[in-house]
Structure formats: structure tokens, C-alpha cells
Amino acid sequence: MTQVSLLQGIHMKNGKIKTRTLTKATVTVRAVIIFLSIFTFVGPFLLKYAAIDWPTAIVYTLDNLKMMFLQPAFNQITFSTAITQILITLSLAFLATILGAVLSFFLAISTAKNLAPASLSNAIIAFNSVIRAVPTVLWVLIFAIVAGLGAVAAVLGMMLHTMAYLTKAYAESFEEIEEGTIEALRAAGANWWHIIFHCVVPQSASYLVSWTFLRFETNYGVAIAMGAAAAAGGIGFELFMSSSFYYDLHEVGMITYCALIVAIVLEVMALQIKKHLTTH
Amino acid sequence: MTTRNFLRMKKWKMTGIIMLLLVITYGSSMVTNFNIWQGVKSVPGTITWIMTNLIPDAEAMANLPKVLSRLWETIVLSVIASTTAAVFAFFFAIFGSKTTQLNRPLAFCTRLIASIFRNIPVVAWALVLVISFGHNVVTGYFALFISTFGTLVRMFVETIDEASADGVEALNATGATYFQMVFKGVLPDTMPQMLSWLFYMIETNIRSATLIGLLTGTGIGYLFDLHYKRLDYGTLGLITLSIIVIVIAIEFTSNKVRRMIL
């Protein structure tokens, strides 16, 4: 009896202390892993495959990758065209980011739990999750029916997703602001806009900048995809033309390298901005 | 510097940044021929258009079985591409993370490979694969796999770096072998966070599968493209609605699971 009371809270089995205890979380983790593993093994059998000649396809792929990465060359377009097209892609990404960021700011101050009423906040969250549920390319194509394919449809479609993403990020950083600061300002007689511009914005400015730039980096990738899938222009469109119309994999490789360099530069910049802001 | 000067400096700096952003915005609109007023004007038009045309009618409902089977294909592709990519990403992340790396050159190489996979646009992979594998689910699978792999390595490396530095040190001090350290120390610590990232990727992949489907002729993206080109807007509405429902359902389940395991 005394031994039991001494060891209260320690689970024993065959005289050994059990180091693993089953909590709700570990059970869920295991169940999820088992489910996903079974699905992964069964899943491939549920799909319909067209006939593939595997050996040929693999040899083709390796051959294609060799043409793409080891022998890149410009044939249909020139180097300066590629630079201009990348500039267009960057501009599309920038416009979508800046317009989305401005709208997100206003939506976020109406979403943050410490600044806005709960009903308004929940309405905006629901609105955003519906917007996010539709893939960007579908938004672009839907806008294109009214506005015509081009920069307007591309920027609007990309802007919607930027807005849904940044509103959440901004609102979360607004919610981290100490309640005391806001209360003090309120007690001093500051109105709502004073609180926003003299307390909320300065305190969360570094987060806002780093989230916005991160989204700009993402939007560059999205803009390439929109150029290819929705013919919205830029380097993605050239990529689509050279692979699906000219079957010129040397050029696909060259364009990919150009796009890759810009993407890596953006990623390094985003990391630097993040590091710079968090050390301050 | 007095307070007044400091505030004035700050004000000038802010004005400068805003001016710079305005100049870049103007420049970008010139380069892309984007007209902001045209953009604003087309929004109400699009909303009325969605309200009037994108409603699935009886004729569209006849396509429901076809839509559901394509949707199922998209879901299966997204899940299996994410899970298999996660297994590979886990090993890459173990070798790439600062706390569990074997040696520095190998860590650098794994991170570089992941960065290249992540930054080459998904579109480029899809377009190359479609040439060799044709319009086939395999193409969609590989394109999703490659992009998921690149992203997950980055997420997993950050998770391992953040979660397990102390645990690894303690295990090393007790003389645990490398594999004991990884499977008894790192894995249990980081598993919930990694699963959470995996769910996030499954969600993201259902959205990207639409885009990749458009390019490679698979899944729900192919069907959307087909009916878009036929101007069959009723079916288009049905497809869009089914995507909305499935994405929100998956988001809801993954949020629930995430809350249970974290």
C-alpha cells in the first residue's frame, strides 16, 4: 500500500516505469499518422492512369531535364526580352501586394479582437476563408470574363488572396500589442484613429513590413504561374509559349534560370529583412 | 537629438517611404498597362456577373458525377503528394538542420537542393513533365511532389532548429547514438508541429492542384479549363462551389486536428 502511494502519478508495467504515457495528443498523432500512411498506400490504386510506357517516359524526362538545365539557350526571345518580361512579372506581383496590403490594413484593424467588435471580426474572417478557398487562377479567370485577360484580371485575382492572407497576419500582430498601452491612450481621451496611428501601427510596423515582403516573394511565384495558366503576361507566359508551342526545352531552361535567380534574390532579401527586424 | 527633432525625422522618413512606394506603384502600372480605375470599375461588374451567371443550373447538375470524380482525383493526388514529399523532406531536414546535421557541407547541400526545388516555378516542372508523361495523373503527382518537397524542407528545418536544441544536447551528453538522438529526441518533440505543416501543405496543394491540373490536364483544373473554354458558366459555378466546399472542409478538419495535437 505504501509503495503505491509513493509512486502516485508514475505509471508502472511489469515493475518498470513507463516512460511513454498516452495522452489525447499522442493518441491523435498516432491515429493521424496511421490514417495518412494507409491512405498513401491505397491512394495510388484509386486513380485512373492513362497508359504510360515507364522506361521511355523516364528516359524522356531525364533527357528533357538535361536539355533544360545543362544546355540552356535563348532561341525565340532575346535576353533583353526576358529581362523585360521578368520586370512585368515583378510589377504584377508588386501591384497585387501593395493594393492587397492597403486593403488588408483596413480589414485587419476591423478584425483584431482588441480593436473591433467580435461580430464584425467574425464576418471578415468568414469572408476571407471563402475568398481563400477559391484558387488564385480561378479568380483571375473569373475576373478575366468581365475585365478581359491581362494585367487588370491578374492583379485583381492575386490581390484577393494577398488580402485574405495579410489580413490574418496583420490582425495577429495587432492582437499581440499590450492591452495596457491601448487602455492608457483611451484613458487619455484618444479616439480610435489616434490609437491606430500612434500606438498600433508604430508597435507592429516591423511585423507588417516583414509579412508584406514575404507575401511579395510569394506573389512573384504566383505571377509566373498566372502568366502561364491564365495568359496574364510576363515571364510565365514566355515559359508557357516556349514549352507548349515551340517545344523548346533549351529556352525553358534559360527562362527557368532567369526566374530562379530573381526568386532566390527575393528569398535572401526576405530573410535579411526578417533578421534585421527581429534583432531590433 | 531632441524629441522634437526625432519625431520630425521619423515623419520625413515615413513620407519618403510612402513617396517611393507611390513611384514604384506608378512605374509598375506603366510597365504592365494596369489601370487602377479600370480595376475598380470591373469589380462591381464581376460581382454582378458572378451572381447572375455562376449559379449552377439543372443542366450543370447533370455534370455533378463527373465533377465529383475529378475532385476526388485532385484530393487523392494532393494527399499522397504531400505525405510522400513529407517523408523525403524529413530526412533532408534532419541532415540540413543546424542541431542534427552530420557535417556542414552535407547540410549546405541539402538546403541548397531544397531551395532550388522550391524556387523553380511549379509551372516549369509541370510543363516539362507533361512533355514526357503526357496528360496523366502521374504528371500532376510529380509536379505537386516537387514543390511540396521544397517547401516542407524549409518548414521542417525551422521546426527542428526551434524545438529541439536542448533535447539534442542532453541526449548527446548521455552518449546516445545519432539514430537514438534523432528518433527518441528530435522526432517526438517535433512530430506535432511537422504534422501541422503537413496539413497546411495538403490544404495548399488542393489549391495548387487546380492550377497544375489546368496545365497538365488532370483533376478538377482540367474540368474547369474545359468548361471555361466552352463558356459553360453553370458548370463552372458548380466546379467553383465544389472546390470551395472541399477546401473549407479540409481547412476545418486540419484546424481541429492541429488544436488536438499541439
- pLDDT tens string A226-238: 988 888 889 999 9
**Contact residues on chain A for B34, CB-CB shorter than 8 A:** 91-92, 95, 151-152, 155
pLDDT for B249: 92
Q: Please state, in angstroms and rounded to a whole number, the distance separating the CA atoms of residues B55 and B241.
A: 9
Quickly state the pLDDT bin for A170 (edges 50, 70, 90).
very high
Q: Is the pLDDT of residue B16 over 50?
A: yes
Is B11 at the interface with chain A, CB within 8 A?
Answer: no
Q: What is the pLDDT of residues B110-157, one digit of tens each?
A: 888 888 888 888 888 888 888 888 888 888 899 999 989 999 998 999
Instruction: Residue B45: list chain A partners with CB under 8 A.
Output: 146-147
Residue A97: predicted pLDDT: 96
Chain-wide mean pLDDT for chain B? 87
d(CA A125, CA A111): 7
**What confidence tens digit (pLDDT) does each residue in B153-172 have?**
989 998 888 877 787 888 88
Backbone φ, ψ for residue A12 (5° rounding): -110, 150
**B25·A224 Cβ contact <8 A:** no
Task: Report yes or no for ipTM above 0.95.
Answer: no
- Given this model, what pLDDT does residue A2 score? 47
Locus of grid cell 495518412: A36
Q: Work out the average pLDDT over A212-225.
A: 92
Residue A133 is nearest to which of B76, B198, B248, comparing CB atoms? B248
For chain B, what percent of residues have pLDDT higher than 70?
99
Q: Decide if B73 touches A, using CB distance below 8 A.
A: yes
Please give the average per-residue pLDDT across B39-53, as a whole number: 87
CB–CB of A224 and B31 under 8 A?
Answer: no
Assess whether pLDDT exceeds 70 at residue B176: yes
Integer Cα distance of B82 and B146 in angstroms: 10
What is the Cα–Cα distance from B152 to B202, expressed in whole angstroms?
Answer: 11
Of the candidates A269, A157, A130, the one whose C-alpha atom is nearest the C-alpha of residue A223 is A157
Listing DSSP states for A184-204 in one string gives HHHHTT--HHHHIIIIIHHHH
pLDDT of A13 strictly over 80: no
What SS3 class is residue A75? coil
Q: Which of B35, B42, B129 sits opposite A61 (nearest CB)?
A: B129
Reported as a single tens digit per residue, the pLDDT across A114-166 is 888 999 999 999 999 999 999 999 999 999 988 888 889 999 999 999 999 99
DSSP letters, chain B, are --HHHHHHHHHHHHHHHHHHHHHHHHHHHHHHT--HHHHHHHHHHHHHHHHHHSS--HHHHTTHHHHHHHHHHHHHHHHHHHHHHHHHHHHHHHHHSTTT-S-HHHHHHHHHHHHHHHHS-HHHHHHHHHHHH-SSHHHHHHHHHHHHHHHHHHHHHHHHHHH-HHHHHHHHHTT--HHHIIIIIIHHHHHHHHHHHHHHHHHHHHHHHHHHHHHHT-HHHHHHHHHHHTT-HHHHHHHHHHHHHHHHHHHHHHHHHHHHH-
Residue ranges of B 115-134 with Cβ closer than 8 A to chain A: 115-116, 119-124, 127-129, 131-134
Q: Say if B23 is an interface residue toward chain A (CB within 8 Å).
A: no
Q: Tens digit of pLDDT for each residue in A43-80?
A: 888 887 777 778 888 888 888 888 888 888 888 888 89
A10 pLDDT exceeds 70?
A: no
